Amino acid sequence: MKLVLATSNKGKVREIKALCEDFEIIPYSELIDEFEIVEDGDDFKENALIKARAVFKALNDENVIVLADDSGISVDILDGKPGIYSARYAGAGATDKDNLHKLIDAIKEKNVKSSSAHYTAAIAIVTKESQYSVHGWMHVEVITKALGDKGFGYDPMFIPLGYDKTLGQLDDETKKRLSHRSKALNLAKIILQTL
Ligand code: ITT
């Protein structure tokens, strides 16, 4: 089955390809020029649907199935921030490193060395006839240091529950088994098999 991914995030493309080996995955930028999508939903689910619908419309091909991922981190000591604003936490155009260091500084300002947190991934699937959404979560401890360079985004400060290393240090297979994205995609695959 051919699946078009509505994302510009290379880390997501890499992980989704590795998690969906039975599907032909095509980032939408290989079919049309990338364009800006205003993610103005109130939650992860709305933003995932906004991205999937926007790319479905732009492709102008009724036969495609579009899949989008909206994800982010919610830190308990920061009352759930940055949440749906994770990609823009350090401002518009912020890099993954800018966001990571801003989050480390915000946690340090609370005079703690770590906090419980979780990643959320909402996956939306849009076809000509239907629209679906599913979620996955991963609970972690976030630390005020960046360790390791595996994964992407906030991974170097994330220690999954039951582990003593960050997702930046653990191998790809471990993240594949535990991640919010893999849990959401396992549900998405059930839907995809019905289409
Ligand atoms: P698209 O909207 O084009 O998909 P994006 O990077 O803007 O790309 P989001 O709006 O969903 O995607 O923002 C997700 C943010 O959360 C972004 O800063 C990521 O780095 C971070 N994030 C999500 N999942 C992550 C993961 O598995 N590991 C590390 N960081 C993650």
For residue 59 the two structure tokens come to 């492709």
Structural domain count, the chain: 1
Asked whether the CA dihedral 97, 98, 99, 105 is positive or negative, the reply is positive
Pairing of strands 2-5, 24-27: parallel
- Domain of residue 28: give its range: 2-194
Question: Which atom of ligand 1 has the smallest separation from the CA of 73?
Answer: 16
User: Which amino acid belongs to residue 168?
Assistant: G
Q: Which CATH number does the domain housing residue 19 bear?
A: 3.90.950.10
**Other C-beta atoms within 10 Å of 106: how many?**
17
| Number of Cα atoms under 13 Å in the Cβ half of residue 81 | 13
Give residues (CB < 6 A) around ligand 1. Answer: 7-9, 12, 39, 51, 69-72, 86-87, 96, 99, 119, 151-155, 179, 181
CA of 187 to the centre of ligand 1 (A): 19
**pLDDT digit string (tens) for the chain, length 195 residues:** 679 999 999 999 999 999 998 889 999 999 999 999 999 999 999 999 999 999 999 999 999 999 999 999 999 999 999 999 999 999 988 999 999 999 999 999 999 999 999 999 999 999 999 999 999 999 999 999 999 999 889 999 999 999 999 999 999 999 999 999 999 999 999 999 998
